[in-house]
């Protein structure tokens, strides 16, 4: 079971986006806004993981190498030298890769220090927001780099975290007891998750947050423009 939301930060110049799909045969499809060639993935093969950011698509291959398509200006597509990558995350202007040994690589815009991840160890998952990067370790501790207003300082005190998601300007996590933690910008109520229980997955968008409960129901908090939080009655079935 899983839930996902579009996480490109809300701004006048980011009203368009694209969608990426990974087929069972390792090929990739993409549709939507293609101004910078972010949908040019038709030739990709042997892909096991995909990530989409603003104007960019990443694909992790079974060999541990990474493919990138899209905007090259900030250097976020410079992933050719990455090796032994098992997962990746795409922020607005930076890309993050998780290596099999639990270390992390990052390239792209680093004006808030969001790419300063070289010392991280024991990482099991990574997530990238507008100007910040977060990761969780096998012991449930959280690492963060980048924009402090996105919760990069508060999350360092979190414990027993099993899942983590970086929104544009906030961060959400799930702990071992099924509670949801949230820090950062709360101007739309996207961090009002303290009462949530029995949650197994969480995802943070630009100005809203979704949580998936163990019974398959979905919770939402934050900006409801366009009905993005209208999830009452949803029930996600396990595959």
- pLDDT value of position 18: 85
The half-sphere exposure of 124 on its side-chain side, counting CA atoms within 13 A, is: 11
pLDDT at 127 over 70: yes
Closest CA to 56 of 82, 90, 79, 30: 90
pLDDT tens sequence across 30-71: 988 899 999 999 999 999 999 998 889 999 999 999 999 999
pLDDT at 12 over 70: no
Contact call for residues 199 and 180 (beta carbons, < 8 A): yes
Summary mean pLDDT of the chain: 92
| pLDDT over 70, % of the chain | 92
Closest CA to 171 of 60, 84, 89: 89
- pLDDT value of position 183: 97
- pLDDT value of position 2: 44
C-alpha pair distances (Å), 176 with each of 1, 97, 162: 17, 25, 6
pLDDT at 154 over 50: yes
């Amino acid at each position: 079971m899983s839930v996902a939301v579009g996480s490109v930060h809300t701004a006048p110049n980011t009203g368009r986006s694209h969608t990426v799909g990974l087929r069972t045969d390792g090929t990739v499809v993409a549709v939507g806004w293609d101004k910078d060639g972010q949908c040019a993935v038709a030739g990709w093969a042997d892909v096991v993981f995909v990530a989409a950011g603003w104007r960019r698509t990443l694909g992790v291959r079974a060999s541990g190498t990474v493919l990138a398509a899209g905007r090259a200006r900030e250097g976020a597509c410079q992933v050719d030298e990455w090796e032994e990558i098992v997962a990746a995350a795409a922020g607005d202007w930076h890309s993050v890769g998780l290596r099999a040994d639990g270390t992390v690589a990052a390239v792209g815009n680093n004006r808030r220090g969001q790419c300063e991840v070289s010392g991280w160890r024991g990482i099991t998952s990574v997530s990238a927001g507008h100007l910040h990067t977060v990761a969780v370790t096998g012991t449930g501790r959280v690492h963060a780099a980048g924009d402090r207003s996105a919760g990069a300082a508060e999350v360092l005190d979190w414990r027993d975290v099993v899942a983590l998601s970086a929104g544009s300007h906030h961060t959400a996590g799930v702990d071992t007891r099924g509670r949801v933690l949230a820090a950062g910008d709360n101007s739309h109520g996207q961090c009002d998750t303290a009462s949530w229980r029995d949650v197994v997955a969480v995802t943070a968008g630009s100005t809203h947050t979704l949580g998936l409960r163990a019974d398959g129901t979905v919770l939402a908090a934050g900006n409801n423009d366009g009905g993005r939080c209208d999830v009452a009655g949803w029930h996600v079935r396990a595959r």
